[in-house]
Structure 1
Amino acid sequence: MRFGLILGDQLHHQLATLKVLDRTKDVILMAEVFEEATYVTHHPQKIALIFSAMRHFAKQLKAEGWRVRYHVFQSDSPIRTLLDFVQVQQQRLSAKELVITHCGEYRLQQQIENHWSQQLQLPVQCLDDDRFFCSPVQFRQWASRYKMLRMEYFYREMRKQTGYLIQNSQPIGGKWNYDTANRKTWSGNPPLSAPLYFELDQIDRDVIELVKREFPQHPGSLTNFHWATTRSNALLALQHFIVNSLPYFGDYQDALAQGEDALFHSLLSPYLNCGLLLAKEVCDAAEAAYHAGHAPLNAVEGFIRQILGWREYVRGVYWLYMPQYANSNSLHHSAALPKFYWTGRTKMNCMAECFRNTFEHAYAHHIQRLMITGNFALLSGVDPQQISAWYLAVYADAYEWVELPNTVGMVMHADGGLLASKPYAASGNYIHKMSDYCQHCTYNVKTRTEPDSCPFNSLYWYFMMKHEAIFRANPRMGMIYRQLDKLKNKDQLIVHAQQLLTQIDEL
């Protein structure tokens, strides 16, 4: 008899662990444990989603004839870690081997590889996670061919490998990337579809009560918990996106609108990242919509690029460069994360909108994360590790393998340009162009150094001046520095920005 340990982000029947085990002989282990639920202050909806999805998956496995040992979270339980749980089960059942699929987090993977076998006195077999298109070994081989890694080149190779939107060995439409066609603002038309909500069952209700009771100090609300917690409902969420939102996703994927939390985004990433959906079936559905004439090329290409390109790319970077990648800080930023990242209370309307969405739904779309909350952290010189811990805590789709490279590399440019060739820094003008947020703000987006000037403006130019030695030679930033050269009253800009930084918690 063998044990198969299934983690909270591995909830799919095609998991490698289930493929090698024998349901008539082996035992599945699943556990809700203190260490995994609290190593950062995870949003209550994130904990509820994972616990409930785990319980539903365990119930389904039992119905299919698997023997399942499941540990329900108890804050006073002596079982604090996954290792504790396996040790208790080994004392009771004496398995001959522990089988597990490769983890999504370096911390836990190192514990398993380096310590568990000895501590358990039990052989541990760790299987490749074949739910992804590209293995860490394949990514390493790809990366070895380049002096500088660029997602676009990786993405093209993955398109060729998978055949998505390829015809006669060439990209359909003649272009690999339609990102320039995906930057329209949205002002109410086309209309948004009604959101898809799922009725809570008894498992959901039990978990929500547990999370309310056991994690009252974790930031975020459970009031608007609408996530799918079963595979069948996750498939309904996929269908809902394909039918209702994918046709417009391309045009408006970078748009921002007051009071609109999702626009045409899919909200599928939590299901992809916990295992309820597979990346392949999601990309297959999008491509089928294009071939059926239901969705335009720019929408389908942009959506597939997010999954086949970016999602696989950041995973490859994570496993290639950990553990040193986690401590990257090439810009030497050390400022504390402003308090309003945890409270949501700020006079900056764009930030307040993103925080509201975050704490109400454990979600914000990629432009809210990158160009609002991330952009502000970058311009303010926040310590990359502090903002990384925040992103890992507050979003339902945040697992370290995907969150860390996105934060350290793309948001904070802390890896020296390894992930992205230029920093994603912007003044308030970008927010003004892409949204209606500024219309509802007490700050003035048109000025830089007045008492009521948008903080993004002076902080942006101060950031560019502060790091001029690094970025002026960057060919993608030449226009920015030509603009900087023409600016008047630079000293006044510097003084105003520095003053903002000294009173940042009051903004």
Structure 2
Amino acid sequence: MSASLRLILGDQLTLSLPIVEDATKSRDIFLLAEVREEATYVKHHKLKIAFLFSAMRHFAEELKDNGYQVEYCRYDDDDNQGSLLKQLKHTLEKHPSLDSVIVTEPGEYRLQQSMQQWSNQLGVPVNVLDDPRFLSSPEDFAQWAEGRKQLRMEFFYREMRKRYRILMDDDSPVGGKWNYDSQNREPMPADHQVPEPTVFEPDDITNDVIALVKQEFDDHFGDIDNFYFAVTREQALHVLNTFIEERLPTFGKYQDAMVEGKPWLYHSHLSFYINCGLLTPKEVIQRAETAYYEEKAPLNSAEGFIRQILGWREFVRGFYWHFMPDLAKDNYFSNNRSLPSFFWDGYTNMNCMRQCITETKNNAYAHHIQRLMVIGNFCLLTGLNPQEVQEWYLLVYADAYEWVELPNVAGMILYADGGNLASKPYIASGSYINKMSNYCKNCGYKVSKKSGDDACPFNYLYWRFIDEHEDKLRDNHRMAMIYRTYEKMSQDKLDAARQSAAIFLQKLSKDEEV
């Protein structure tokens, strides 16, 4: 009788996957492995490695408790072969009765390309199963995209709402509108009290992993002592329940707000657990929809949250597979400036950047506006190299995997794909950051000043970018208002912005303090 070796990756920790449900407990063996190749192809944040290794070890114990046979390879085991392929070969040699390998399709292009060679390299059939946790397959997306001049998330999202009957009233959206984003852009009042985040004390398994990370990954980015993650499905469900009860009702209007010293705010902090498999997108969406129907959350909050998962998350995954491998190399503006050193230590006079990078370093987390409109905005305005920026975003966040990180960074943040994903570059001057945060109050620069040594760099970098890339952006209808303002600027103001930007960018290129 046939028996299979079933490989579970670190972002596939879901008992309801077919690879688990279809297994024969008496014959099949599961393999989970903490291999060097996956942990170090970029220098992932220490917390990210500790979180995934701990979640993998807890998941392996859950498989065993359910009666499955499990081979678990720890990072420091003597027989750790260093790569998934070598570990599979080693395990097959240990268990001659295993005559095939079964895997769930990976989330990253590089791993997919590697898997296509595994059958020849291992000498046994390798069966790659679909991943049903996603609500739209790459084939679904390709079919939707065919013949469209522009691929826009909003229209994809509407189709997904109709397909899954989420917040729908017959063929119309509940409330009469598809999108309530205009209600979700309020700055947070200074005296507003935000609920405490849901955190967990590390257990023995997690403490062992933390010790391992301190020993083996000391040169990786980030701090390790502030471990707070859920590492089991039970804990992840607790985070979900708490979000629905405490945060979702106010999530909507404050989802774009930023507050110094308050990294968590009303965001769900569920992407860690959805992206590694402890939670499924469908159950999270259903919980938010139910909260609306039970009048426990307003429509703008429920819709805005659901759009992030059913709309944006599914869209960028389809977009990733549709445009790879070229997406990773796109560089529409020919940007080549290296990342400044403060991206690693947070030492800069720009308080907004200091806050967002320091919180990333401490928590392996920053919310979407910090990633897009502060750090990402800076990356685009200063012309940082897309490949360096992409790698930084991939390694610093605990919820980052290439399929979700690359479209967001290359397409949304850097406009490196020339507009395949975003309808315009997402850039802003200091006034936007001042409106949506309290960062500017404690900054070394003055947000009210447009040029000069003490002016907010975002102000003059913004107009430098508009000026520098007029040839590529003027015909974009969404940039028309900006260029009308640009045309009305006096030559003196434009020259002052150019000069201030040139001085700042020269310092940046020399990696001097800014």
TM range (shorter): over 0.9
User: What is the CA deviation profile of residues 378-422 of structure 1, one whole-angstrom value per residue up to 9, with x for unaligned ones?
Assistant: 000001110000000000000000000000000000001000000
TM-score, normalized by length of structure 2?
0.97
Select the residue among 61, 64, 71 that pairs with 2:63. 61
CA offsets 1:280-302 (integer angstroms, 9 cap, x no match): 00001000100010000000000
Deviations 1:136-168 (A, max 9, x none): 111110010412101000000000001110011
Once the two structures are superposed, what CA deviation does each residue of 1:103-150 show, in whole Å capped at 9, x if it has no partner? 01000111001x111110010000110001000111110010412101
2:293 aligned with 1:291, yes or no?
A: yes
Residue number in structure 2 paired with 1:112: 115
Query: Is 1:186–2:198 an aligned residue pair?
Result: no
Q: CA deviation at 1:195?
A: 1.9
Picking from 417, 420, 443, the partner of 2:419 is 417
Matched, 1:503 2:477: no
**Please, which of 150, 153, 156 is the counterpart of residue 155 of structure 2?**
153
CA contact (8 A) 2:345 2:358 kept: no
CA offset digits 1:357-380 (Å, max 9, x no partner)? 101100000000000000000000
For structure 2, which runs of at least 5 residues remain unmatched after alignment?
none
Structure 1 distance, partners of 2:342, 2:106, is 33
Q: 1:443-463: per-residue Cα shift (whole Å, max 9, x none)?
A: 011112211111111111000
CA distance in 2, matches of 1:275, 1:362: 18
Letter in 2 for 1:14: S
Counterpart amino acid of residue 18 in structure 1: V
Aligned-pair Cα RMSD in Å? 1.1
The amino acid across from 1:404 in the alignment is L
What is aligned with 2:100? 97
Q: Tell me which moved more, 466-475 or 400-409.
A: 466-475
Match in the other structure for 2:498: 494
Alignment partners' CA distance in 1, 2:195 and 2:94: 52
Query: CA 1:354/1:96 → structure 2, altered by over 3 Å: closer, same or farther?
Result: same
The CA deviation at 1:76 is: 7.4
* Aligned CA distance change for structure 1 residues 302 and 68 (closer, same or farther; 3 Å): same
Q: Which residue number in structure 1 is paired with residue 264 of structure 2?
A: 262
AA aligned opposite 1:324? D
Give distance in 2, aligned partners of 1:352 and 1:487. Answer: 31
Match of 1:163 among 148, 162, 165: 165
Deviation of 1:188 after TM superposition, in Å, equals 4.0
The offset of 1:22, in angstroms, is 1.3
Deviation (angstroms), 1:75:
8.3
* TM value normalised by structure 1: 0.98
Residue among 61, 81, 84 paired with 1:82: 84
1:17 deviates by 1.1
Aligned ranges for residues 475-490 of structure 1 at < 5 Å? Answer: 475-488=477-490, 489=492, 490=494
Unmatched tracts of structure 1, length 5 or more? none
- Which residue does 1:40 correspond to in 2? 42
- What displacement does 1:51 show? 0.2
C-alpha displacement of 1:16:
2.4
- Judge conservation of contact 1:34–1:75 (CA < 8 Å) in 2: no
Q: 1:153-232 maps to which residues of 2 (within 5 A)?
A: 153-188=155-190, 190-232=192-234
SS in 2 for 1:191: coil
Change (3 A) 1:65 1:75: closer
Q: Deviations over 1:162-202 (max 9, x none)?
A: 11100111100000000111000002455211221212211
Judge conservation of contact 2:452–2:496 (CA < 8 Å) in 1: no
- Partner of 1:125, secondary structure, is strand
* Equivalent residue for 2:250, pick from 223, 248, 251: 248
Once the 2 structures are TM-superposed, how far is the Cα of residue 15 of structure 1 from its aligned partner?
1.4
Q: Which amino acid aligns with 1:436?
A: N
Q: How far apart are the structure 2 equivalents of 1:189 and 1:60?
A: 44
Partner of 1:98, secondary structure, is strand
Give, in angstroms, the shift of residue 78 of structure 1.
5.6
Contact 1:187 1:257 in 2 (8 A): no
CA–CA distance in 1 between the matches of 2:420 and 2:120? 37
Separation in 2 of the partners of 1:76 and 1:378?
45
Letter in 2 for 1:493: A
- Provide the aligned length of Structure 1 versus Structure 2: 506
- Per-residue deviation at 1:77? 5.8
Contact 1:26 1:67 in 2 (8 A): yes
